[in-house]
Amino acid sequence: VRPVPFTPRPVPLSATLAVNEAIARRRREGRRVLPLGFGEAGIPIHPALTRELAAAAGRGGYGPVAGSAALRAAAAGYWTRRGLPTDPSAVVAGPGSKPLLYALLTAIGGDVVVPAPSWVSYAAQASLAGAEPIRVATPPGEGGVPSPALLADAVVRARARGREVRAVVVTLPDNPTGTIASEETVKRMCSVARRHGLVVISDEIYRDLVHEPGRTVPSPARHAPERTVVTTALSKSLAAGGWRLGVARLPDGPFGRALRDSLLGVASEIWSSAPAPMQQAAAYAFAEPPELAEHVDRSRRLHAAVAGAVADRFAAAGAKVVRPEAAFYLYPDFGPLRETLREAHGVRTAADLTNLLLERYGVGVLPGSSFGDAPSALRMRVAPSLLYGEDDEHRLAALASPE
């Protein structure tokens, strides 16, 4: 038998999924591991949503590439209620926002600016799509949006070396830092995008998990509606990541329509249509019936309580922690403890610290380097189980009274 005469293109497992696998391996060996790497809400799925999915289980046919009319109308309503008037024809559904983001990068077809730090997959997806990810630092204390001045500079420099920069990705609210960029920063970033002809991809998957009640999240779609794509999903606020359902809101006007056509072309070659039962459940979820809206609100309060308590403990231990304003992540920087960690444990980098936490203490987290930044930071999920135990019953009770 002749061996195959080439090696496949090396594509490493995404850092978040790799940590999942490492945890699963250790669990199979009978070790206890606290999974704080992967971005899961750690709350139970609402029974009304499960019922809706069960009722749709008989739907086995393919549907329209863009998604069902019911889902597109519901998602349009969701965005319209958040101050982004949306026509159902501007909505495209997919099997999660991750594949939608990849399909968008493929449809846009050029280099892309990503914030530093930012969610692990933007840069990896850009590279897979044959584009160059250009990292631009965020303003101090404001995660998720590249600093407008640095963005302009990076685009000019990349173009001067022949790169075709076409898009900038932002995360509002941010993962990994859990912070929310200011309206002013978003507005200034949008004017840079307009001046340099960039598409803005605004990943707003954590929009409904803002800790302070009533606080609004800025969206570039308000400042640059002609060039902004917004994405969201059921994964985080409704804890239904495994259901794989996301939606994109394409820009207004001729460019938006052309981009939608290209996105549908890519989608038609990759997933054909999002899973039909999930679309029906998602149509129900995006209509925001009171029982789901209350569930999201309770989980928002729960995440706020847990994130605040865990941030305080890290700060008391001497780490530098920016207090998260949304979502369920903490991004503590162990820089101030560098000497202590080196002397006590031989730890030099965040990757060393991640390994130590997994091997010795059974805690799975991610190093800041996975997010393209901060050699001494870690990203950890602040799971409700940290304060309320692992089983659903405890977490449900905690949901009912997160204070």
Task: For residue 56, give Cα distances in angstroms to 48, 53, 60, 61, 220.
Answer: 13, 5, 9, 11, 35
Answer yes or no whether residue 241 interacts with ligand PLP by CB under 6 A. yes
Cβ-based nearer residue to ligand PLP, 277 or 337: 277
CB under 6 A: which stretch of 92-100, 161-169, 308-316, 368-376 binds ligand PLP?
A: 92-100
165 - beta bridge partners?
A: 111
Number of residues that bind ligand PLP (CB under 6 A): 13
> If binding is defined by CB under 6 A, does position 175 make contact with ligand PLP?
yes
Instruction: Indicate whether 39 belongs to the interface with ligand PLP (CB under 6 A).
Output: yes
Would you call 201 helix, strand, or coil by DSSP? strand
Q: Judging by beta carbons within 10 Å of its beta carbon (0-12, 13-18, 19+), is residue 356 exposed, middle or buried?
A: middle
> Of the candidates 171, 219, 237, 369, which one interacts with ligand PLP according to CB under 6 A?
171
User: What is the distance between the alpha carbons of residues 252 and 79, in angstroms, rounded to a whole number?
Assistant: 14
Cβ-in-10-Å burial (0-12, 13-18, 19+) of 310 comes to buried
119 vs 334 by CB, closer to ligand PLP: 119
- Among residues 46, 72, 82, 98, the one that binds ligand PLP under rule CB under 6 A: 98
Residue closer to ligand PLP, measured from CB, 152 or 237 = 237
Q: In this chain, which of 119, 284, 286, 388 binds ligand PLP, going by CB under 6 A?
A: 119
Question: x/- string (CB under 6 A) for ligand PLP, residues 176-205?
Answer: ---------------------------x-x
Rounded Cα gap, residues 227 and 61, in angstroms: 34
Q: Which of residues 217-236 bind ligand PLP (CB under 6 A)?
A: 233, 235
SS percent in the chain: helix, strand, coil, step 5: 45, 15, 40
The residues of the shown chain that bind ligand PLP, judged by CB under 6 A, are 39, 96-98, 119, 171, 175, 203, 205, 233, 235, 241, 246
